[in-house]
Amino acid sequence: MNRKLLVTGGAGFIGSKFVKCGVKKRGYDMVVVDKLTYAGDLERLREVENHIIFYKADISDMDLMEDIFKNEKPYAVVHFAAESHVDRSIMDTTPFLDTNIKGTQILLEISGRHEIQRFINISTDEVYGDMKDEGQSYETTPLNPSSPYSVSKAAADMLGRAYQRTYCLPVITVRPSNNYGPWQYPEKLIPVVILKAINNEKVPVYAKGENIREWLFVMDCVEAIFEVLEKGKIGEIYNVGSGEEKRNIDVVKTILNMLGKSEDLIEFVKDRPGHDFRYSLNSKKISEQIGWKNKKGFLEGIEKTVRWYLDNIEWAESKLKDMKPMQ
């Protein structure tokens, strides 16, 4: 039986965890495709480098991707590759359109020609857009993206579903909530707070820090994606959330407390343009139909994450030095 998965964005934060889990725990053969932009890093895959096939490639390059599919003949595609930072999308939208929309369309097109048996399209809770204090987003909730990033992800999400309906491509859509954990690139909220606090620098928080996100430990997300790959129904959408919503300011204070740092380090800064107030997923469908539920609560997960950054401060700070400026 063919157990070969083609994983796009496999040197990224979530993708690399998926690749390592697939090799070490799930018994898959992994073909990893990654452009290795600023947020991709082969160091994340070092422990399984001798057990994977790696291609440095842009998913927007149709000829190159066609060659990879011909050479490797994967059973399924798990599509993580994306430009993924809202602030960067506000500064320059073009890379988000090129990778997230055009790249996804090319992968879908080639997957159809090569009779892929599963195409797992990784979306995001941000496609649902802004929510007020109450209510949740269901898989049937209309999409209402707010930022250039979330618009590009909504387009990729809808392209996958269009290819499933029009061409009978076996697409399954996964919409996770905010992921966090070890190896996350230090421009996202949690690693930024950890690194700034370790160095006794001011910790920037947008507006008053009242914005609410649902936080999901990265390994829980990875396990959910494997469950969807193995048990999910073609054409379906699955929300993947923890049910743990936190205000940004409370996340920041929790990390400062764990590090024994004063809340005086917090510095409120001008808010992001069009900043969504809240995301909240209803994840009953994946729980009831597939049997997945997150295992790691926020406090346990954030403690593990903080410890990892303390133990791997050199990697994190090297990323800060190499970080591509946003403007």
Residues 161, 17 share a domain: yes
Q: Is 103 inside any structural domain?
A: yes
Mean pLDDT score across all residues of the chain: 94
Q: DSSP labels for 31-79?
A: EEEE---TT--GGGGGGGGGGEEEEE--TT-HHHHHHHHHHH--SEEEE
125 is known as an active-site residue: yes
Cβ pair 81, 34 in contact under 8 A = yes
Q: Is residue 327 part of a domain?
A: no
* Token reading at 73: 């003949």
Q: Which of 34, 41, 83, 126 is catalytic?
A: 126
pLDDT band at 321 (very low <50, low <70, confident <90, very high): low
CATH of the domain at 39: 3.40.50.720
Better-predicted residue by pLDDT, 318 or 101: 101
Task: Say which of 149, 180, 185, 309 is annotated catalytic.
Answer: 149
pLDDT in the model for residue 247: 97
**37 and 89 co-located in one domain:** yes
For residue 150, which of 134, 172, 131 has the smallest C-alpha distance? 131
Residues 87-141 have pLDDT tens digits of: 788 888 998 899 999 999 999 999 999 999 999 999 999 999 999 888 999 999 9
State whether 115 and 230 are in the same domain.
yes
Q: Is residue 48 domain-resident?
A: yes
Apex 260 CA angle, 258 and 261, nearest 5: 110
Pair 310, 253 in one domain: yes
Domain harbouring 262, CATH code: 3.90.25.10
pLDDT above 60 for 326: no
User: Residues 130, 69: one domain?
Assistant: yes
CA distance 264 to 205: 12
Residue 143 forms part of a structural domain: yes
- 70 & 156 share domain: yes
* Residue 323: per-residue pLDDT: 55
Annotated active-site residue 67? The verdict is no
Query: Residue 324: what pLDDT?
Result: 47
Position 42 in a domain: yes
pTM (predicted TM-score): 0.95
Of 74-83, 229-238, 267-276, 289-298, the least confident: 267-276
The verdict on 71 and 138 lying in the same domain is yes
Distance CA 259, CA 147 (A): 33
151 and 300 within one domain: no
Strand partners for 238: 174
| Secondary element (H or E) of residue 268 | strand 266-269
pLDDT, one tens digit per residue, over 38-90 is: 889 999 999 999 999 999 999 999 999 999 999 999 999 999 999 877 778 88
Instruction: Name the percent of the chain lying above pLDDT 70.
Output: 98
Active-site residue, selected from the candidate residues 83, 125, 187, 220 = 125
- Number of structural domains the chain divides into: 2
Paired sense of beta strands 4-8 and 212-217, if any:
unpaired
Structural domain range at position 107: 4-180+216-240
